[in-house]
Structure 1
Amino acid sequence: MKNSLILLLSFFFMGHMASAAKYQIDHLEPSTWWVGMKNPKLQLLVHGENISELRPEIKYDGVTLDQVSLVENPNYMFIDLTIAESAKAGKFEIVFTKSGKKALSYTYELLDRAKDSADRIGFNNTDVMYLITPDRFANGDPSNDSVDGMADKYNREDDYGRHGGDIQGMIDHLDYIEDMGYTALWVNPMIENDMPSSSYHGYAITDFYQVDARFGSNEDYKKLADACDERGIKLIMDMIMNHCGSEHWWMKDLPTSDWLNFQDGFKPTNHKRSVTQDPYASKADTKLHFDGWFVETMPDMNQRNPFMATYLIQNTIWWVEYAGLEGIRMDTYPYPDQHFMADWTEAVMTEYPEFNIVGEEWTTNPALVAYWQRDKKNANGYTSELPSLMDFPIQDALAKSLNSDHTQWGQGFNLLYEMQANDFLYADPYNLVVFPDNHDMDRIYTQLEEDYTKYKLAIAYMLTTRGIPQIYYGTEILMSHMGTSSHGALRADFPGGWEGDKVNAFTGEGLDAKAKEAQDFNKKLTNWRKTATAIHDGKLTHFAPAGMDGGSYVYFRYDDNQKVMVVLNMGEDKELYLADYAEVLDGETKGTDVISGKEFDLTAGTFTAPAGEALVLELK
């Protein structure tokens, strides 16, 4: 009898445990949140087999469970909460019940915000950004080069393989970045890309809340952010709202039938970004632009689904708050639903009013770029909340100017002059990001056919024109890839970032003389720029290249405290008649070149701009 009772009780407890074990939470996102946010609403995505059969309960002062939403897939539920202003940081249980009995629970934590969180100052035109592709910059922790369970392994011999650069590598070389005068750090995405191959670039996300283990951990990313903050370097996160990776965890169990665009099968975008303003655009072309996929391995997310929209907005705010970011670079800004992008940007900027976000609109047409900037009055009535954009039109005009035959009518710096004149299209041209190159295009030294004279002119212009300059890692040492257009080659390893490298650009060891000269040229200008108020916010007046000769370009930057005259000369020695610039010179008698230290007399009526030189003259 006794044994029978024990057996019966065993079966009872085993059955009870099996029933309790029937449910589990595989994903609950965001996993933490903060008290004191301006928006008191929070929506939790909960994923687990048949989780919709349960009902959540919360008992915590200041937290109200407003609504539970179920969707087509029984493995999901969405929980809407309100976090009152009175709520305190702390942990509480989300109890999931079935038929009034507890089935499982989840410990959720609310955190205190950093004291300066809502007031953080985003990147601005006092900054110079340094852009890094982390896999190719420096390998600070070889132990994470390959990670068990992740398919894409270390292979430094492969242009498209993982090379081992990581967060620790960047931390190890922040002294170099600071010494070079860069005040903001934009890093290509480091969020998990657990894809079968070629995942080093970071743009096929498989978990929006986790740093890729081959770069480090979330804690390592926070460590990088803190280390940047100690040096006064602003950290800018590269984000993607348009697409995820085909190996994202939800791709195996999608929540709804409209979680993705063209969810039934791959259909490529037509890349017709002009449909945003084209008065004759067809609905079919418009839909294909916004909803089409880039490639089969990057499913296009449907931001018109309200749960997806909330998920993406909250994920963005989570990273800003978690890491203390000072900026976001938004990939492929014109491709997600444009009304969602306005909502997304407004939500971020409302939470962080002094923040900054730069969007990528890769076109050489300034009218298409200007469409997306905050305060732009658009013909179709669209209102954007995006503060900044990448200035692709200026980049293109500069490269074409320098590569053209400046002795031909309308060529040379005339091309740049005319493009600069299009600034009337922008609501705020001073908040555009200007750049000689980036991770998706040929290195500027390659674009300019490795002509060092043209290179110096390009860098001098980018560091003195209006806007916020961005320099791609290695551009400062003339990294080039002549003879190949491979993305793997243009994202080559930074010399000195790997043990055993024969050349070390961090220390200068083995660096050839011209590369060292270029590095010093960049360093001098970027460090001078830190305190050059006229370059930050000063007015810009430029003068048209004269007649048939587009070989020289003169412009001034000036405010109440400083006046700077910039002379770019790609031709022979050029005699400049100072009377032509009298409206801005206004009695200035001397100019000192920031680069060479040479003084120029401005009282003689003329001075000679040396052939193939850039002059950045502080006037007195």
Structure 2
Amino acid sequence: MRTILCTLALLLGFSAPVRAIDIERVEPANWWVGMQHNRVELLVHGNGIATSTPRLSHHGVAIVDVQKTDNPNYLFVTVEIAADATPGNFDIAFVDAGKIVATHPWRLDAREPGSAQRRGFDAHDAIYLITPDRFANGDPSNDSVPGMREAANRASPNGRHGGDIAGIRKHLDYIAGMGFTQLWPTPFLENDQPEYSYHGYAITDLYKTDPRMGSNEDVRALSREAKSKGVGIVMDIVLNHIGSQHWWMRDLPAKDWINHGGRFAPTNHRRTTVQDPHAAPADREAFTDGWFVDAMPDLNQRNPHLARYLIQNTLWWIEYAGLSGIREDTFGYADADFLSAWAKAVLTEYPNFAMVGEEWSINPMVVAHWQRGKQNASGHVPHMPSMMDFPIHIALRTALVQPEGWDTGWVNLYEMLANDFVYPDPDALVVFAENHDTARLFAHLDGDLAAWKLGMAYLATVRGTPQFYYGSEVLLRGPKERNDGQLRADMPGGWAGDTANAFTGNGLSAAQRDAQAYTRALFDWRKRTPLLHTGKLTHFAPQDGVYVYFRHEGGRSVMVALNKNAKPTSLALDRFDAFLRGRTARDALSAKPVGMGRALELPAMSATLLEIE
């Protein structure tokens, strides 16, 4: 270190340092030539660093701004990168009273060809959601890592079980073979919390993969390998909060970095307060500024340095890991103006990129508020291309368990879908029957396999992009009431010695094999059927326990008839003449011809899927 400092001092015309400063972090540690975001604000952390002045000498790179906060251990240094800047390594020197007190390496990289034009996921895709710690253990040597607060304990539903990136890479062929084209893992990033660290949402380092999962390079390798198999990676981003053991909490960059002065104050979860013209300001503030739990400090994105840090962190991961999409956690809980700026910055850099936000509300108006193109009375201008369709999620689960009646059963789903007029782009929404925060659909249905198949058929054929939760294809069940550790159960076969193996089929019951085969056939058919990607959806009001809709385009259509009756049902076809008259039909999954007379016989509790030509 001394030699480096003295050499750099000579090059820059300064004498040797008197008081050296240890720089603990410079984030981000690198950037790329040719980015739209070419003014990068570096967070520099080191004891007393604020008294120094940064200097650098590299072709095409210049320091254009330096700012301080109320914490003398931070500097925020903005570098501007010219279009003709030279990729490579160089040092940033920090000078105090004419003497170099510290240096730190930084790097410029060349971009991957076509990076800015990358295509994100859309309705052509189907997303497979996994909890990495519970999917597959490919490298048992990293189950427990010295120095990390929580060791592996597979016996505990709430402990770390050892799933990792190596395990995911081992089973990419399985994921692709099931018909899925996108993989959404819950966060990989470091969660060095004392407990409940397996889920990934209490991040303690936003630039570092948790070593119990692997390394940053492992994430990049996963993305490249997945892409070669036709599968994109959707990264789970958390903008609202961090983990209580995040390194910031030991030395906050500014007093207003964390909401409520860094002290726990719970959110009220009142999502409507963001749009409600009558909402008390105190209630609105309690929603956005409150903490989820005391282990998740709530970030104040109104601090401009934090806002830039979070935006740059997202751009960095997209570029570094070659992502095809982002799922953004707890979307509406963050500052609304920041959310707009964040999404706009991402789409400015990657115009064809895909992002979906989580707004857990049954109210379509609340969800639609955040989608790009929505004209909001509040004046908020959103830029998110997609949102998770929680209203359809809840309506589907309700419809499958309610008895059929004038205003119960399928009509819940029919009328919820009719609310699509409130969305700027309903076809861009992500639809799902379950996820890592809900009881699994199979448990919700008390183990009714026929009803479960109805739900999966709807998921694969309705408008939007479907998201499927790992393990459901082999009927992982868990509790009926939400219990996170149990609903995020281990994938059978992901661990050496498992008696059942979802990946090979060994040890599965007949029902599990049936469900897996149905899922594979359903999503493989969806992948190769353009009508299910871009076809218009026309649905007919449910009658007598049957819900019928068509996906259609250019004279061709797919007919979906969902029969919830416990007995076979004869479906009169005269209502559907506009789609069926004079045309032939074949079963979508078996390709066998189906006679289309005056009525169609529907098996009990079944989804009939027909290709009409």
Aligned counterparts, 1:598-617, within 5 A: 598-602=592-596, 604-617=597-610
Structure 2 Cα separation of the partners of residues 514 and 45 of structure 1? 54
Matched, 1:508 2:505: yes
Deviation string, structure 1 residues 252-271 (Cα, Å, up to 9, x no partner)? 10111100110152110111
**Cα distance, 1:587 vs. partner?**
2.7
Match of 2:403 among 397, 405, 420: 405
Matched, 1:152 2:147: no
**Cα distance, 1:202 vs. partner?**
0.3
Deviates further, 379-388 or 571-580: 571-580
Aligned counterparts, 1:424-439, within 5 A: 424-439=421-436
Opposite residue 418 of structure 2, the aligned amino acid is A
Aligned to 2:558: 564
Structure 1 Cα separation of the partners of residues 80 and 95 of structure 2? 21
Match of 2:571 among 576, 583, 586: 576
Matched, 1:199 2:192: no
3-state SS of 1:26 partner: strand
3-state SS of 1:176 partner: helix
- Note if contact 1:69-1:77 (Cα within 8 Å) is conserved in structure 2: yes
**Cα distance, 1:103 vs. partner?**
1.7
Aligned to 2:298: 300
- Note if contact 1:533-1:561 (Cα within 8 Å) is conserved in structure 2: no
Structure 2 Cα separation of the partners of residues 99 and 22 of structure 1? 12
Aligned counterparts, 1:108-147, within 5 A: 108-147=106-145
- Note if contact 1:532-1:562 (Cα within 8 Å) is conserved in structure 2: no
3-state SS of 1:254 partner: coil
- Note if contact 1:534-1:561 (Cα within 8 Å) is conserved in structure 2: no
Aligned to 1:32: 30
Match of 1:377 among 363, 375, 378: 375
Matched, 1:239 2:237: yes
Structure 2 Cα separation of the partners of residues 577 and 98 of structure 1? 85
Matched, 1:178 2:171: no
Aligned counterparts, 1:342-381, within 5 A: 342-381=340-379
Aligned to 1:619: 612
Aligned to 1:3: none
Aligned to 2:105: 107
Match of 1:450 among 447, 450, 469: 447
Q: 1:414 to 1:484 in 2, by over 3 A?
A: closer
- Note if contact 2:393-2:432 (Cα within 8 Å) is conserved in structure 1: yes
Q: 1:374 to 1:586 in 2, by over 3 A?
A: farther
Structure 2 Cα separation of the partners of residues 561 and 93 of structure 1? 64
Structure 1 gap ranges (5+): 1-16
Structure 2 gap ranges (5+): 1-14
**Cα distance, 1:141 vs. partner?**
0.2
Opposite residue 69 of structure 2, the aligned amino acid is V
Opposite residue 492 of structure 2, the aligned amino acid is P
Aligned to 1:530: 527
Structure 2 Cα separation of the partners of residues 124 and 535 of structure 1? 12
Aligned counterparts, 1:531-550, within 5 A: 531-546=528-543, 549=544
- Note if contact 2:223-2:323 (Cα within 8 Å) is conserved in structure 1: yes
- Note if contact 1:533-1:562 (Cα within 8 Å) is conserved in structure 2: no
Deviation string, structure 1 residues 116-163 (Cα, Å, up to 9, x no partner)? 100100011011100010000000000000000001000000000000
3-state SS of 1:463 partner: helix
Structure 1 runs (4+) deviating above 4 angstroms are 17-21
Deviation string, structure 1 residues 5-31 (Cα, Å, up to 9, x no partner)? xxxxxxxxxxxx996563011010000
3-state SS of 1:553 partner: strand
Matched, 1:213 2:211: yes
Aligned to 2:3: none
Match of 1:587 among 582, 588, 591: 582
Matched, 1:332 2:330: yes
**Cα distance, 1:575 vs. partner?**
1.6
- Note if contact 2:325-2:355 (Cα within 8 Å) is conserved in structure 1: yes
Percent sequence identity over matched residues? 50
**Cα distance, 1:409 vs. partner?**
2.3
**Cα distance, 1:67 vs. partner?**
1.1
Opposite residue 577 of structure 1, the aligned amino acid is A
Structure 1 Cα separation of the partners of residues 39 and 99 of structure 2? 28
Aligned to 1:6: none
**Cα distance, 1:597 vs. partner?**
3.9
3-state SS of 1:210 partner: strand
3-state SS of 1:576 partner: strand
Deviates further, 166-175 or 19-28: 19-28
Q: 1:124 to 1:78 in 2, by over 3 A?
A: same
Opposite residue 570 of structure 2, the aligned amino acid is E
Structure number with larger C-alpha Rg: 1
**Cα distance, 1:483 vs. partner?**
5.8
Aligned to 2:285: 287
Opposite residue 466 of structure 1, the aligned amino acid is R
Structure 2 Cα separation of the partners of residues 141 and 122 of structure 1? 30
Deviation string, structure 1 residues 527-546 (Cα, Å, up to 9, x no partner)? 11112111001000000012
Deviates further, 191-200 or 578-587: 578-587
Match of 1:418 among 396, 415, 418: 415
The alignment's C-alpha RMSD in Å is 1.4
3-state SS of 2:313 partner: helix
Structure 2 Cα separation of the partners of residues 20 and 618 of structure 1? 79
**Cα distance, 1:190 vs. partner?**
0.6
Aligned counterparts, 1:478-489, within 5 A: 478-482=475-479, 485-489=482-486
- Note if contact 2:439-2:481 (Cα within 8 Å) is conserved in structure 1: no
**Cα distance, 1:107 vs. partner?**
1.8
Matched, 1:475 2:469: no
3-state SS of 1:616 partner: strand
Deviation string, structure 1 residues 521-577 (Cα, Å, up to 9, x no partner)? 01001111112111001000000012xx3x110000011274100010010222222
Opposite residue 491 of structure 1, the aligned amino acid is R
Aligned to 2:8: none
Deviation string, structure 1 residues 394-426 (Cα, Å, up to 9, x no partner)? 1111111110111x3211211111111011111
3-state SS of 2:340 partner: helix
Deviation string, structure 1 residues 209-241 (Cα, Å, up to 9, x no partner)? 000000000011111011111111010000100
- The alignment's TM-score, normalised by the length of structure 1, stands at 0.95
Aligned counterparts, 1:54-133, within 5 A: 54-133=52-131
Structure 2 Cα separation of the partners of residues 427 and 129 of structure 1? 22
Structure 2 Cα separation of the partners of residues 372 and 110 of structure 1? 35
Structure 2 Cα separation of the partners of residues 41 and 455 of structure 1? 51
Aligned to 1:389: 387
- Note if contact 1:436-1:462 (Cα within 8 Å) is conserved in structure 2: yes
Opposite residue 338 of structure 1, the aligned amino acid is A
- Note if contact 1:119-1:353 (Cα within 8 Å) is conserved in structure 2: yes
Q: 1:484 to 1:565 in 2, by over 3 A?
A: closer
